[in-house]
Amino acid sequence: MSDKTVSPAADAPAANTSRRWPALLVGLCLVAGVAGGLGWFLNKPKAPPAELASDKLGMSRPDGLLETHSLSQLPKDLLAVPFLKETLTEDFVFYYEAHADRLGLIGSLRRIIYEHDLKLQDSLIEQLFDQPADVALWRGADGRLKDFLLVMDRGGLAKVLEPLAKVALGDTQLSRLSEIKVAGDVVPLYQLTYNNSKALLFASHGDKLVVLSNPAKLYEAGHGPVDEPGMVSTESLEALLGGQKLFPEAFGLPPRTPEVKQRLSVNSSVLAMGYQRFIPNFAGLRFDMDDKGWHSFLAMDELESQPDFDFKPIWQAMPMGASACVTLPLAAEQQKPLLVKLGAEESVAQALTEHMAGAAGLCWYADSRLYTPLLVASLNDDDSAKLDGDLGNLFGSMVGAYEGKVPDQAFPVVEKQEGQTHQWQRQVSSNFGPYKAKDAEQPDAITGKAFMRVSLARHGSTLLFSLDDKLVDKALGTLDKRFPPMADVVPKDLLMPIYFDPDSMAQLMQQETLDSLPQDMEPVFYNAAQTYLIPKLRTLGGYGKYALTLPKGSEPDGHWQWLPLEWKAL
């Protein structure tokens, strides 16, 4: 294992730089996938976040923020990362050039310019996109970033845009919707309709241009609270046109300096897919670009009774060969209501939360499935018959279901104990299980095509769980020193919350992709995956293993504390 620390900020030759960035992109997906699986780690912030200026002015908090010196340069700047340049095709750069919405908007503006004989250059759109801008984004109902509010410095384009306002009353696509006031001036608010059913709102004042992508999200100030993502009041538009910087504050950021050409910030609400409350320390991710390249940061929130950031016991228990891993500090006391809601008895939930301590982690393996990671957690008791009794009762009440061919009865829990190990296992019918129904002891009792052997085990002061029993067995072998641990390949004295093996992850993703697209049922998508996705996964697999580390002694102190991330090649 190399002891060389890899820093994205370093200005190194492309040959070395190209091996730094697999985790930069995939890390986003990794954190998002982990969030739902760590439902035990619920806690509440030490203090509620301060009310932001955007909240006071009637704007829901953005889920993402892009601050750029030039919107048109963003795709090319992203491809300055050698890893992205090798894994993304030129289609990525030209995607927005040929996007239907963009083409429809350009077509509408060109028609207006032509029909009203306006003296505007045909390169108007390109000039607009080549300006400094801040773009706040909100998630839609499907969880993807959808609605946006753009604030742009118009610079010399202020005079160029003025003729558009003169035709607003006589055009079918451009209309004057209402008025707002900025610094005592009356500012018209326009609506531009394009692609038949789509529309956007815009207004300009001084050297500022504001564009809202969804007119339905605008409401009059003082007419009710902001109760859904993307809601923007007329008062907040007035503040933005007046030069107020409302967005950076929502991400705990100072104003962007000229040295930072691109700054992309993403709230944990996007990456956690709605499960943010289960990972309370994690606030967001940020990527900055300056003359030295791209830099990455992790935002953390301080918690009441902050757990220690000690992940070494997790890496000692995790078997070697993982595709990806994430570890988090464990805050167990607040898990009791969640466990009770999931079916645990009050006394059992209380007992379990009292015994949880330290940290917990998840690892995925190429020889398993994407939805069957291995969970490892630390306990403060390594030999307790009472604890084992509570764990067995909890497992029996929360794992399994009434099987269709076994009325009012789930499969029995198989319990065994040997030395320091106490293990519980239950067979559960599932079409996604790794075992075929015909291989069960009672094939006729399986209600689907396959089944799982869900497994929970305690080995001393370590708790193991997975839907794939083979992973639990391998972890028990690791704790018994019959199989090497992840601790043998990760940095010994660094605070490492994330591990990533591109080659192993590429194998896992290829398996999941092809398994979800049976060739006889989905020939078109199957062939598309073979042609476009699989080669990219193979390219991904050519990169080495990485550890994502935080500075030594890192610990959250307040809200939105940004910590630099270091990528260490192993």
User: Using one digit for the tens of pLDDT, what is the confidence trace for 480-497?
Assistant: 999 999 999 998 888 888
Instruction: Tell me what the mean pLDDT of segment 508-525 comes to.
Output: 80
Does 306 map to a domain? no
Residue type, 379: L
DSSP state letter for 69: S
Does 400 map to a domain? yes
Q: Beta strand pairing status for 218-219 and 232-233?
A: parallel
Domains contained in the chain, number:
2
Least confident of 95-99, 141-145, 184-188, 267-271: 95-99
Does 120 map to a domain? yes
The residue from 245, 261, 276 where one domain ends is 245
Q: Are 31 and 282 in contact (CB under 8 A)?
A: yes
Is the pLDDT at 149 greater than 80? The verdict is: yes
Least confident of 10-14, 127-131, 222-226: 10-14
The residue among 487, 493, 113 whose CA lies nearest residue 318 is: 487
Least confident of 441-450, 452-461, 482-491, 536-545: 536-545
Q: Are 219 and 209 in contact (CB under 8 A)?
A: no
Three-state SS at 202: strand
Q: Beta strand pairing status for 566-569 and 374-379?
A: unpaired
Q: Are 401 and 407 in contact (CB under 8 A)?
A: no
Return the top range by mean pLDDT from 200-204, 276-280, 462-466. Answer: 462-466
pTM over 0.75: no
Does 294 map to a domain? no
pLDDT score at 86: 58
pLDDT score at 519: 74
CA distances from 179 to 159, 175, 194, 206, 224 (A): 20, 12, 22, 16, 19
Where residue 469 falls among pLDDT bands split at 50, 70, 90?
Answer: very high
Instruction: Tell me what the mean pLDDT of segment 423-444 comes to.
Output: 89
Conformation bin of residue 306: beta by default, left when phi > 0, alpha when psi is -120 to 50: beta
Place of tokens 């929130």: 301
Does 28 map to a domain? no
Query: What does pLDDT average to over the chain?
Result: 76
The residue from 460, 495, 511 where one domain ends is 460
What is the domain extent for residue 110? 53-245
Residue type, 359: A
Does 177 map to a domain? yes
Where residue 315 falls among pLDDT bands split at 50, 70, 90?
Answer: very high
Helix (H) or strand (E) holding 153: strand 145-153
495 token code pair:
């605070």
The residue from 407, 430, 460 where one domain ends is 460
488 token code pair:
């043998």
pLDDT score at 363: 93
Does 402 map to a domain? yes
Instruction: Tell me what the mean pLDDT of segment 160-171 comes to.
Output: 58
Does 144 map to a domain? yes
Is the pLDDT at 365 greater than 90? The verdict is: yes
Least confident of 239-243, 327-331, 440-444: 327-331
The residue among 88, 26, 569 whose CA lies nearest residue 323 is: 26
Least confident of 25-29, 188-192, 463-467: 25-29
